[in-house]
Amino acid sequence: MDYILTTNALTKKYGHYKASNEVSIHVQRGDIYGLIGRNGAGKTTLMKMIGGLSHPTSGSFEIRGSKGENTEQMMSKVGILIENPGLYPNMTAMQNLKTKAIALGIKDDKFLEGLLEEVGLANTGKKKAKQFSLGMKQRLGIAMALVNQPELLILDEPINGLDPQGIAEMRVILSHLCHDKHITIIISSHILDELSKVATRYGIIHEGKLLEEESKEELFSKCSERLELKTSDIERTMNILNTMGFSKIEVKDGAINIYERLNEGGAITIALAKENIQTNEIAVKSEALEDYYFQLTGGQENA
């Protein structure tokens, strides 16, 4: 695998509290990697460590094969927007960008104008940042994170508080940066429905721990419709299902989940009865991404 970022048991302690608890994630080049978690789950803490804004208590991480000690070399290829963009309110979008560029030794107005174009702020002219909408401020924050031409972009809750139009605009920008500009993106959010429209891989974090890490296809297969079957003999039932040509099946929590031919429940029941296997329960179940997440993390409180 071509990993642009890996973390190895990355941990951050505040006293006895572990805000990040031995988190190991794997971000492939070209991913839009969605960090899913409630407020306070540890997403921001993890991103701050990766972005060089916080020092890990233990564990390590690598960016492009370079370990965490080589911070200067790694951070030159990382763009980061965590919490507020840190804009100068009385400056225009271009003036804000120039301030960041000067600090990095960049003197190329055409390049900066191109960044404003990328995030849809090319026509803001002399309008000051304090007059920008929240969505415009977030987009300018992303432009500033792109000044050093990063290969990896870290964005913490960039759609939080945006209206539907602002969220849609952000989605277009992220897809463009990833697919057209070949920038790998790590994005955190607790708005799962919106994250599901853009992310290609997911890490689910709860109370500082990484619960699952999987591709979009793997995650959505767990959230799709399935036929849930409970019988008196799971092993023999699996053999019969295999004989009937079922292949997309798995045993989980004492039940057999079937992800194909969901309208054949009657035929399955008849086949089992012929072999004296009792069907205790059979039903089509459907689970949304949020339902799956709440089930995984133990309920909807504080979501």
Domain boundary among 215, 248, 268: 215
**Residue 168 and residue 281 in one domain:** no
Query: Cα separation of 33 and 50, whole Å?
Result: 14
Which residue shows structure tokens 């891989």?
Answer: 201
**Residue 27 and residue 75 in one domain:** yes
**Residue 43 and residue 137 in one domain:** yes
pLDDT at 230 over 80: yes
**Residue 114 and residue 238 in one domain:** no
**Residue 163 and residue 19 in one domain:** yes
Q: What's the pLDDT at 124?
A: 92
Domain boundary among 188, 215, 242: 215
Query: Cα separation of 32 and 295, whole Å?
Result: 24
Q: What's the pLDDT at 303?
A: 41
Q: What's the pLDDT at 192?
A: 81
Q: What's the pLDDT at 86?
A: 86
Specify if 291 maps to a domain. Answer: no
Residue in 138, 133, 116, 134 with CA at minimum distance from that of residue 125: 116
**Residue 232 and residue 178 in one domain:** no
pLDDT at 220 over 90: no
pLDDT at 223 over 80: no
Specify if 302 maps to a domain. Answer: no
Specify if 112 maps to a domain. Answer: yes
**Residue 102 and residue 201 in one domain:** yes
**Residue 173 and residue 230 in one domain:** no
Q: Please state the domain count of the chain.
A: 2
Specify if 92 maps to a domain. Answer: yes
* CB contact at 8 A, 207 and 45: no
The pTM assigned to this predicted structure is 0.78
Specify if 234 maps to a domain. Answer: yes
pLDDT at 289 over 80: no
Q: What's the pLDDT at 32?
A: 97
Share of the chain above pLDDT 70, in %: 96
Specify if 160 maps to a domain. Answer: yes
Specify if 300 maps to a domain. Answer: no
pLDDT tens for each residue of 118-173: 999 998 989 999 999 999 999 999 999 999 999 999 999 998 888 888 888 999 99
**Residue 177 and residue 230 in one domain:** no
**Residue 25 and residue 129 in one domain:** yes
Q: Which two structure tokens, joined as six digits, stand for 223?
A: 């959230």
pLDDT tens for each residue of 41-86: 999 999 999 988 899 999 999 998 777 555 566 778 899 999 788 8
Q: What's the pLDDT at 116?
A: 95
Q: What's the pLDDT at 219?
A: 85
Contacting residues for 244 by C-beta, under 8 A, at least 6 apart = 267, 268, 271
The pLDDT confidence band at residue 301, using thresholds 50, 70 and 90, is very low
Query: Cα separation of 141 and 57, whole Å?
Result: 29
The end-to-end CA distance of the chain, in Å, is 33
H/E run at residue 63: strand 58-63
Which residue shows structure tokens 């008196």?
Answer: 232
Q: Would you call 48 exposed, middle or buried from its count of C-beta atoms within 10 A (0-12, 13-18, 19+)?
A: buried
**Residue 177 and residue 266 in one domain:** no
Domain boundary among 158, 187, 215: 215
CATH of the domain at 246: 3.30.70.980
Q: Give 296's strand partners.
A: none
CATH of the domain at 146: 3.40.50.300
Q: How many CB atoms lie within 10 A of CB 114?
A: 13
**Residue 201 and residue 136 in one domain:** yes
* Domain limits for position 264: 225-286
